[in-house]
Amino acid sequence: MTGSEVPPQFRLAYVPGVTPTKWVRIWNERLPDVPLTLVPVSPAEAPGVLRAGGADAGFVRLPIDRTELSAIPLYTETTVVVIPKDHVVAAVEEVSTGDLADEIVLHPLDDTLEWESLPGRPAIERPETTADAIELVAAGVGVLVVPQSLARLHHRRDLTYRPVTGAPESRVALSWPEEETTDLVEEFIGIVRGRTVNSTRGRKQGQAQTPAQPKGKRPDKTAGSARKPAQGKNPRGGSGGARGAKNTGRGKPGRGRK
């Protein structure tokens, strides 16, 4: 490597609530010479970071402005309501948005859910962030409806959560700059989609190894089938069965040569 060459690296952005640990571990196993750097971003700034080249790919929450970006939806999260542990809702397994009609439902500015109509009663002011809204829930000011991963991320001992039916759901996607689908991006897409190393769309090294194995075996099979008839030269005579006929037939040319 010359002094002007930059060693390969991969920068992966991710929004709060997404845990990329599993995919990072697989990356490190398959490409130990290419370091992967995690870049935490907010849902609002994620598209801009990708377009500006601040990351090679990233886990984002849909919908996003897909101008100049590609995206593969990965999974949809359960929507939950975060409440104090002594709240009446804590006594049931799940609630509907209608059950929250009398509650003050906090709506932070970084909310990732697309509401057509907000449930419950609005707070006087919108909290700046989901973390701020969690603090207000703990203070008994209201309740908060969020994707389940965010409820887990901001877990507190004095709070709990329950699934909410009739609420919008958050979808997580892998996104990257449309014009920058590099080999490393393709490699990460394969990891996220569960492709093995020897997948036809996996690493080039794996593709080269797959057809090489049968080529090495074919000569052995051919040689083995050619050697088997040669064993028939030793027995002479026999009971006249199928094997004896083959041996006798192959033995005549041998006697003629003598």
Rounded CA gap, 92 and 55, in Å? 42
Instruction: Provide the residue ranges of all domains of the chain, joining segments of one domain with +.
Output: 10-76+171-206, 79-165
Q: Is 80 exceeded by the pLDDT of residue 27?
A: yes
Q: How confident is the model at residue 2 (pLDDT cuts 50, 70, 90)?
A: low
Answer whether 10-76+171-206 and 79-165 agree in fold.
yes
Residue 224, token pair as written in the block: 């083995």
Fold of 79-165: D-Maltodextrin-Binding Protein; domain 2 (3.40.190)
Greater pLDDT, 236 or 138: 138
Q: What is the 3-state secondary structure (H, E, C) of the chain?
A: CCCCCCCCCEEEEECCCCCCHHHHHHHHHHCCCCCEEEEECCCCCHHHHHHCCCCCEEEEEECCCCCCEEEEEEEECCEEEEEECCCHHHHCCCEEHHHHCCCEEECCCCCCCCCCCCCCEECCCCCCCHHHHHHHHHCCCCEEEEEHHHHHHCCCCCEEEEEEECCCCCEEEEEEECCCCCHHHHHHHHHHCCCCCCCCCCCHHHHHHHHHHHHHHHHHHHHHHHHHHHHHHCCCCCCCCHHHHHHHHHHHHHHHHC
52 — phi, psi (to 5°)?
-80, -5
Answer whether residue 237 shows pLDDT above 80: no
pLDDT tops 60 at residue 257? no
Q: Which residue has the higher pLDDT, 236 or 10?
A: 10
pLDDT at res. 224: 43
135-191: per-residue pLDDT in tens? 999 999 999 999 999 999 999 999 999 999 999 999 999 999 998 889 999 999 999
| Per-residue pLDDT reduced to its tens digit, 187-228 | 999 999 998 877 645 444 433 333 444 444 444 444 444 444
pLDDT single digits (tens) 39-81: 999 999 999 999 999 999 999 999 988 889 999 999 999 999 9
Residues 221-246, mean pLDDT to the nearest whole number: 43
Length of the chain: 258
User: For the domain 10-76+171-206, what is the CATH superfamily, name and number?
Assistant: Periplasmic binding protein-like II (3.40.190.10)
Question: What's the predicted TM-score (pTM) here?
Answer: 0.73
**The pair of three-digit structure tokens given for residue 15, joined into one six-digit string:** 């929004």
Q: How many other C-beta atoms can be found within 10 angstroms of the C-beta atom of residue 193?
A: 12
In the prediction, which pLDDT does 7 show?
A: 79
